Amino acid sequence: MIPGHPGPLLSALLDGELEPSVAARVRAHVGACGACAAELRAVSEARSAVRSLPRLDPPAGLFRVRRARVRAAVAAVAASVAAAAAVVVLAEPHPAPVRPKVAEFVDAHVATASLTGDPVSELVRAGIPTGTDR
């Protein structure tokens, strides 16, 4: 805005938003200033041009699609939260795989069986490899 000229007040004048005393001073200035009179005409013409544009309706289903997307997103988040909660609350950690060491178990068993049973007949059988995991 050039100092001393109303500038943005011209648009407010057209919209009727100025106090009566201020509006009177702006009108007085426009009546005496050719540049401001020309700017006031240009602003007035631009407003008329914008207001003369046709009204357009949004495409059919625009809001329905958006609502569906929002609902789907909410449902996905809720399902994720529920699944995570179920995993934490209900599931147990997957146990590590175990391969029973059968030969060692047989040795351990023979040792105890020879303590509580007949040592010779128990121990001679352990003199033969089990053939499982040696």
Partner 1 sequence: MTVRPGLAGAVAALVATALVMPAAAGENPVERSRDAAGVLDFAGRVRVFWVDPVGRHETVVRVRAADGVVVVEGLRRIVAAGDDRLVSADSAGWHLVWHADPVPSDAPDMWRKYRVSYSPGPVVAGRLTRLVHVMSGGVVRERLLVDIGSGLILARDQYDARGALRRSVAFEELRLVPGRAVVPQPAADRSPRPLDGGVRGRAYRAPSVLAGGYVRLGAYRRGPAVQVVYSDGVYGLSLFEQRGRLGEVPGLARPVRIGDGRGWHLTWPGGDVVTWQAGDAVYTLVGEAPPEEVLAAARSVPPPSRAPLLERLRRACRGLLDLRA
Applying CB under 8 A, the residues found at the interface with partner 1 are 87-102, 104-134
Distance between CA atoms of residues 80 and 93, nearest Å: 19
Smallest distance from the beta carbon of 90 to partner 1, in angstroms? 7
| Shortest spacing between CB 87 and partner 1, in angstroms | 7
Report the residue number, 64 or 99, with the smaller CB distance to partner 1.
99
Q: How many CB atoms lie within 10 A of CB 131?
A: 8
Separation between Cα atoms, residue 45 and residue 51, nearest integer Å = 10
Measured between alpha carbons, how far is residue 110 from residues 48, 79, 133 in Å?
Answer: 105, 55, 17
Q: Please tell me the total number of residues recorded for the chain in this structure.
A: 134
- H/E run at residue 39: helix 34-51
Between 63 and 105, name the residue whose CB sits nearer to partner 1: 105
Q: Which is nearer to partner 1, 1 or 89 (CB)?
A: 89
Q: How far is the CB of 80 from partner 1 (least distance, A)?
A: 16
Per-residue tokens: 40: 């006031």
- Supply the minimum distance, in Å, between the C-beta of residue 84 and partner 1: 10
Q: Which is nearer to partner 1, 40 or 110 (CB)?
A: 110
Residues 30, 59 contacting (CB under 8 angstroms):
no
